[in-house]
Amino acid sequence: MKILLQGDSITDWGRDRSDPHNMGGGYALFAAQAVREAHPQTELEFINLGISGNRTCDLVARWQTDCIDLQPDLVSILIGVNDTWRAFDRNDPTTAEQYEANYRTILEQTKAHTHAKIVMLEPFLLPNEPAKDAWRADLDPKIQAARRLAREFADAYLPLDGLFAAQCIDHEPAHWAADGVHPTEAGAKFIAAHYAACVAPFIR
């Protein structure tokens, strides 16, 4: 079974890009380990093609070669925080409408040209950097767009923004993501545990 993980730096996490089977050091690594441990009798091929800095427009541009041509059995997608971030560090915004349209394009292509199960992971922002508080007004409509698209296209959805918000009751946000965006090891393992449970019904 071929499982493709797609997204930005949260998925990429320092992976060796010359080796698509290299999982990097983030949630993708721990997710692959957890899924393999839960399904030791299943032959699993994990491919990590997350690219740091990517936005939905970048996924659209590379979706044919980096998803469709690979014909995965399951594809998981975590994308969105850079669609917000670039508005603040480069004055290069992506509107919620553009985000939704871009995301819809890759989901429609996946449905039309593969038999893959689709797992969508919600973009998230933890409240531990006051400078990023202003991001919420931009990111929240994108999260709502992802949820709408999930109802239409996804076989499973991980509401990470909400899940992390709940975890911040018992732990400081920095425990999960020092900058509010990039998970610590604890944050990565938290995502991975939920991921393994989420994909379990699709492992065969």
Dump pLDDT digits (tens) for 156-169: 999 999 999 999 99
**Which uninterrupted H or E stretch holds 48?**
strand 45-48
pLDDT tens-digit profile, the chain (204 residues): 999 999 999 999 999 999 999 999 999 999 999 999 999 999 999 999 999 999 999 999 999 999 999 999 999 999 999 999 999 999 999 999 999 999 999 999 999 999 999 999 999 999 988 889 999 999 999 999 999 999 999 999 999 999 999 999 999 999 999 999 999 999 999 999 999 999 999 998
**CATH number of the domain residue 12 falls in:** 3.40.50.1110
Number of domains in the chain: 1
Tens digit of pLDDT for each residue in 131-164?
Answer: 899 999 999 999 999 999 999 999 999 999 999 9
**Which uninterrupted H or E stretch holds 78?**
strand 74-78
pTM for the whole thing?
0.97
Supply the range of the domain harboring residue 159: 2-202
